[in-house]
Structure 1
Amino acid sequence: MIAAVFFTGVDWFVLLGYFVAIMALGLFFWRRNNTADQFTAGGRTLPGWLCGLSIFATYLSSISYLALPGKAFVDNWNAFAFSLALPFAAAIAVRFFLPLYRRSGEVSAYSLLEHRFGLWARLYASCFYLLFQIARIGVVMYLMALPMAVLFGWDIRIVIVVTGIIVTIYSFVGGIVAVIWADAIQAIVLLAGALLALGILLFDMPGGPSEVIEVANRHDKFSLGSTSLLAISQPTLWVVLAYGLFDNLRNFGVDQSYVQRYIAASTDREAAKSVWVGALLYVPVSALFLFIGSSLFAYYESHPEQTQEVRLIVAEQKMMQAGITPDAPEYASRLNETMDGLTETDLGDRVFPHFIASNLPMGARGLLIAAVFAAAMSTVSTSLNSSATLVMSDFYKRLLRPDSSDTEHVRVLRGSTIAWGAMGTMMALALVRLTESALDIWWILSAVLGAAIIGLFLLGIMVPKIRGGAAVFVLLIGMTLIAWMAASKTDYWPSQYSGLASPFHPLLVIVVGPTAIVLLGWLVTKFLSKKPNEVTGD
């Protein structure tokens, strides 16, 4: 494998040293996690800047670190519209959502839904959130495994399993305080690695930074996409902007992992600071990663021999996944066929790992790979901690054993961490045969699994009169709409019903779904206004 020869003993020292330091941090907090509150909320004493860096690091997962450059390499800066929506979503979250969580004092974000609508709403939101986290862990771990597969030619499935075990152990021993502190450290490693890579990219071009700008601009790599207001079936600037507003509102407003950071902050003011630190840092940093992608495109346009190397590496991985080994008689011919059939999309998520392996000085390669792992570990550990928190609070304590002891809660938290780590690893293995952009896959999964949750929260806030059966009816209609919008855009939709397919791009699921839920809820309360008992459930 071509890229494997570039990883030296110094790189291994940096990479393994980073792992040892992070695991030591988790073990340092092991003895402090002797209560459920410490494991899930960190004693509620943390400063806002620390929680904010943790939020930022969660945003800056390997989805951003690899998929954003890959997206800009293949397409353009259309994904930046998602980031532009962040400050607006943060403002809404600080104004309306954050005070609710801080006043409740409960660690589960969805206990508010029980107070508003009943137990069914809490369990519904928790179930979908737990499914959402399995999908997120899977995508992040798949992207975390890509650099190692590219670097060493290892079977990506083995890399996924090994890294899944490592991250799960880290989350198991650390608890939320270790996760937050590690996130803050990893945010610094992420930025240092990205800036180093960009500097080498820009100055390794024959014409320097100006050539990068000229080549990328000539191929329209800095475009934000179509600005048509009518092209609702395409990922235009406005479609991605609308998606970004609602998806970021789901993140800051109703995502359990973010809510735990609000609760872990020492005061309301510090909690609000954490939101703004996370949001305002991510906007310019996401632009940085998109610029890395545009620069990678210009670099590989000027270095066709390295493009051929990437094509060979990707083709070898596909052959390995298909079970065709180098000693097979047809290997050479099948390899050439596979290389000829590769598209830019196949290369997109792999060009940054290849550049790291082939062009960075020794030691720096280890730092960059550590940064990719840092990005993934911050997200996966956060997802595992928040998922375990919900299993303990919304299912075990709320339904199975209301009078259970704190010792039992800690046991459930750690057992749930292992369970969700295993399921997330299996999801990552299912993504190995991915042929589309990882960012596209993640955005669609996020929209479908998050749409009804944010819709239910907005219904409770914006339609104060709705209760009980009316809310269930509205949610069912909304879920049906969401399912139709998602399913009719897949290959499983019957061709004879193509005329009944959704005209909207799949990203708009999280926009249309919640909007329809709120509007329908308002109409139902108006229709039943003469029968208040039916509306309120009294």
Structure 2
Amino acid sequence: MKSLPFIDLVIVLAYLAGMVGVGIYFSRKNTTADQFTKASGRIPGWAIGISIYATFLSSNTFLGVPGKAFGSNWNSFVFSLSMPLAAWVATRFFIPFYRNTGAVSAYTHLEHRFGAWARTYAVVCFLLTQLARMGSIFFGIALSLQALTGYEMSTIMIVVGICIVLYTVMGGMEAVIWTEVVQGVIKTVGALVILYLVIAGMDGGVSRIMDIGSAENKFSLGTFAPDFTQSSFWVVLLYGFFMNLNNFGMDQNYVQRYHTTTSVKEAAGSVWLCVYLYLPVSLMFFFLGSCLYAYYQSNPELLETIKMQVATERLPTGSQEAIRGLAATLVPADYGDKVMPHFMVTKVPVGLLGLIIAAIMSAAMSTISSGMNASATVFSVDIYQKYIKSDLSQKESLRLLYIATTVFGLLGMLTGIAMIGVKSVLDVWWMLSGIFAGGMLGLFLLGIISRQTRNAEALTATLIGIVVIIWMTFSGQLPGEYAYLRNPLHQNMIMVIGTLTIFLIGMLLTRLKRKRIAEREVILDNK
């Protein structure tokens, strides 16, 4: 660990000040709740597309993806390959639906279809998903900056969190979008700089990296066998499709942006722009992880330093002998998230380091700020105005949004602090999002596709789906004598099975109900 050089510290502070300055600038426009949540529908589609791209390109991508590629292979890239299909479904069906309804909340429709319980359930799932997302991103940025500055991870989260809260609360959705446009550019340039430095520092360049990666099977997309018990190609593809469909189709972060454009065409174009940008850039991050693997395999003395660091963190009171013994047992998956921060500390020159830190911070700030704004909007529309007070004045609505945005930012920060010590930030995020989002997406698809499904069938299907999700999530902790009751599928299948369970059972119950009604009508006609 080391103190940040003065010039890099100046760059980082200038970046933070700039973000807060954007919030101050746009704060003058926030005179209504509509302006705060939808920017009054005046944002161009290209800016929305870059902002959605910036939200996808979080610190989980910036740090977690290279760490994942370093520790295993390109299996997780299949998640990105599923994006075009999910985007097609969203632009074909969901975006026109939202624009026609005009509701700023993605979950108002569920109450119209199934009752207040459906809306409340989806809102709770969304808010829990947002806390998991924001927490994992806070954790990811603190993990990196701790290696660069030596400060405690909790301290880093608090400082960054305060800056995010300030510009998000002051500037509203318009500040969020335009700062994300800037952040999307900064984080992409930062990743390109790191990739260049890794390749330039590697003897043999790209050809040597390809040789090492091929020999170690680092470019594999996973087994193509129909195996759903491990992270196969098909497991990640299915998970990616359902998760991206949840993102594009019913995540408030994205639905809220659709209302900031001037037309359905602009909103759909913003989604496709995000896909066109994210696919090649996510591939670049996986390649960066493979480059780092080859680099450290070629420099084993640097690798030993990382292993000792990880072992020391796991055994803070252990003897040197015990720490060395643990370090010798570590595999790449155990320290993948530490590799890029270590490379930045030791190999990135002064001046560029500040730019890259700003890129990492922007990767975190863009996703957290949009999550805060969306969470505050959902809380205001779907909880406070629904159950507490519906007739809010413009001043009261704005005050509520300011308070809710601040509270959700602080809760996300506390969630990140609680995650300190986890093994892989990307794995944690995937697991938590799959748990919370599975039931929500299944219910939403049921409401959109099956027009005959009513409250009773939807509620029954949702309750069964929740039981299935809980079983799949926690059955692995059952003792040995109940091993036959454990979930045999990979954890990423929780999202898939949970969604399909609610949707298919709802469809089945609807069909059975229609059949009973038809039989009853036949009997009455015969009488």
Structure 2 distance, partners of 1:225, 1:463, is 35
Please give the residue correspondences for 1:178-327 in structure 2 after superposition, counting only pairs within 5 Å. 178-229=175-226, 231-318=227-314, 324=317
The 8 Å contact of residues 80 and 282 in structure 2, kept in 1 or not, is answered as yes
TM-score (norm 2): 0.95
Aligned to 1:79: 76
The 8 Å contact of residues 463 and 518 in structure 1, kept in 2 or not, is answered as no
Aligned-pair CA distance for 1:185 = 0.5
Q: 2:479 aligns with which of 487, 494, 505?
A: 494
The 8 Å contact of residues 153 and 317 in structure 1, kept in 2 or not, is answered as no
Aligned to 1:505: 490
Q: 1:416 aligns with which of 391, 404, 408?
A: 404
Aligned to 1:98: 95
Aligned to 1:431: 419
Structure 2 distance, partners of 1:258, 1:75, is 31
Structure 1 distance, partners of 2:260, 2:73, is 38
Q: Which moved more, 1:352-361 or 1:332-341?
A: 332-341
The 8 Å contact of residues 434 and 492 in structure 2, kept in 1 or not, is answered as yes
Aligned to 2:358: 370
Structure 1 distance, partners of 2:478, 2:35, is 47
Structure 1 distance, partners of 2:40, 2:516, is 46
The 8 Å contact of residues 216 and 298 in structure 1, kept in 2 or not, is answered as yes
SS in 1 for 2:132: helix
Superposed CA offset, 1:50-89 (max 9, x none):
0010000000000100000000000000011100000000
Superposed CA offset, 1:412-449 (max 9, x none):
111111211221112111111212x2111111111111
The 8 Å contact of residues 53 and 278 in structure 2, kept in 1 or not, is answered as yes
Structure 2 distance, partners of 1:334, 1:36, is 58
1:465 aligns with 2:452: yes
CA gap of 1:341–1:424, structure 2 versus 1, over 3 A, is farther
Aligned to 1:327: none
Aligned-pair CA distance for 1:344 = 2.0
Structure 1 distance, partners of 2:267, 2:282, is 23
Structure 1 unaligned runs (5+)?
Answer: 325-329
Aligned-pair CA distance for 1:502 = 1.7
Structure 2 distance, partners of 1:309, 1:363, is 24
Q: Which amino acid is 1:500 matched to?
A: L
Aligned to 1:135: 132
Q: Which moved more, 1:368-377 or 1:30-39?
A: 30-39
Aligned to 2:25: 28
Structure 1 distance, partners of 2:444, 2:406, is 29
Q: Which amino acid is 1:362 matched to?
A: V
CA gap of 1:509–1:351, structure 2 versus 1, over 3 A, is same
Structure 2 distance, partners of 1:142, 1:512, is 28
SS in 2 for 1:403: coil
SS in 2 for 1:349: helix
Aligned to 1:174: 171
Q: Which amino acid is 1:429 matched to?
A: I
Structure 2 distance, partners of 1:531, 1:41, is 45
Q: 2:503 aligns with which of 515, 518, 536?
A: 518
Q: Which amino acid is 2:428 matched to?
A: I
SS in 2 for 1:264: coil
CA gap of 1:338–1:406, structure 2 versus 1, over 3 A, is farther
Aligned-pair CA distance for 1:343 = 3.4
Aligned-pair CA distance for 1:494 = 3.2
Aligned to 2:142: 145
1:47 aligns with 2:44: yes
The 8 Å contact of residues 44 and 263 in structure 1, kept in 2 or not, is answered as yes
Aligned to 1:528: 513
Q: Which moved more, 1:309-318 or 1:285-294?
A: 309-318
Structure 2 distance, partners of 1:361, 1:344, is 26
The 8 Å contact of residues 126 and 394 in structure 1, kept in 2 or not, is answered as yes
Aligned-pair CA distance for 1:332 = 4.2
Aligned-pair CA distance for 1:45 = 1.1
Structure 1 distance, partners of 2:405, 2:319, is 42
Structure 2 distance, partners of 1:46, 1:316, is 49
Percent identity, aligned pairs only, is 41
Structure 2 distance, partners of 1:14, 1:313, is 28
SS in 1 for 2:239: helix
Structure 2 distance, partners of 1:505, 1:102, is 37
Structure 2 distance, partners of 1:342, 1:31, is 53
SS in 1 for 2:452: coil
Aligned-pair CA distance for 1:340 = 4.0
Aligned to 2:384: 396
Q: 2:395 aligns with which of 394, 402, 407?
A: 407
Superposed CA offset, 1:488-535 (max 9, x none):
13xx323322101122111011111211222211211121114559x9
Aligned to 1:156: 153
Structure 1 distance, partners of 2:16, 2:119, is 37
Number of residue pairs the alignment of both structures matches: 520
Aligned-pair CA distance for 1:93 = 0.3
Structure 2 distance, partners of 1:459, 1:378, is 31
Query: What RMSD, in angstroms, separates the aligned Cα atoms of the two structures?
Result: 1.8
Structure 2 unaligned runs (5+)?
Answer: 521-527
Aligned-pair CA distance for 1:480 = 1.0
